[in-house]
Amino acid sequence: MKKFLILVSILFVMLLTSACTEEKPGILFNKYPITEDTVMGYESVFAAGTRIYYLILMPEKIHSRYAYLQIIKKDNDYGRLGYKIYYGKNIRLKNEQIYYYDDYIVINESGSYVMQVYSRDNPQKVLTMGEFWVK
């Protein structure tokens, strides 16, 4: 009985500590155009009036080839309380952009921002989300 409990506890600990191999969607922000050389240079704080380059990674194929991009501004620097929609865009994914999309945006107002990406297939579910600040 003692060996059985030890075996069950070892299996339980193995399940809790094992890493997931599933790829997850994400957004990378950078102050330089995103290429193979600059993709690892992740930034999250930007100066007002400068270009904010972003790369949206989607491991699952979006069947309709359309995505919705939304940027929400938090009303204070602490990232709490009120929100307002700052920017929205419909994205048409090309054949070579099934699993990623890259572009840039210029924001002139300082504050805390959240970028969210939705699929046209399921517009209630957020595919990925990223947060950045403009000083």
Domain spanning 22-134: which CATH class is it, in words? mainly beta
d(CA 32, CA 74) in angstroms, rounded, equals 25
What is the predicted pLDDT for the residue at 98? 79
Q: How many helices (H) and strands (E) does the chain have?
A: 1, 8
From residue 8, give the alpha-carbon distance in Å to each of 4, 48, 77, 108.
6, 56, 48, 57
81 secondary structure, DSSP code:
S
Say whether 97 sits in a helix, a strand or coil.
helix
Span 69-102, pLDDT tens digits: 999 998 765 556 678 889 999 988 888 777 888 8
pLDDT digits (tens, 9 = 90+) for 8-63: 777 667 666 766 666 778 899 999 998 888 888 888 999 999 999 999 988 777 77
Q: Over the stretch 96-132, which tens digit does the pLDDT of each residue have?
A: 777 888 899 999 998 889 999 988 888 888 889 999 9
Sequence spans of domains, the chain: 22-134
State pTM to two decimals. 0.77
In order, the DSSP letters of 4-43 are HHHHHHHHHHHHHHPPP-----EEEEESS---TTTTT---
Confidence at residue 37, expressed as pLDDT on a 0 to 100 scale: 84
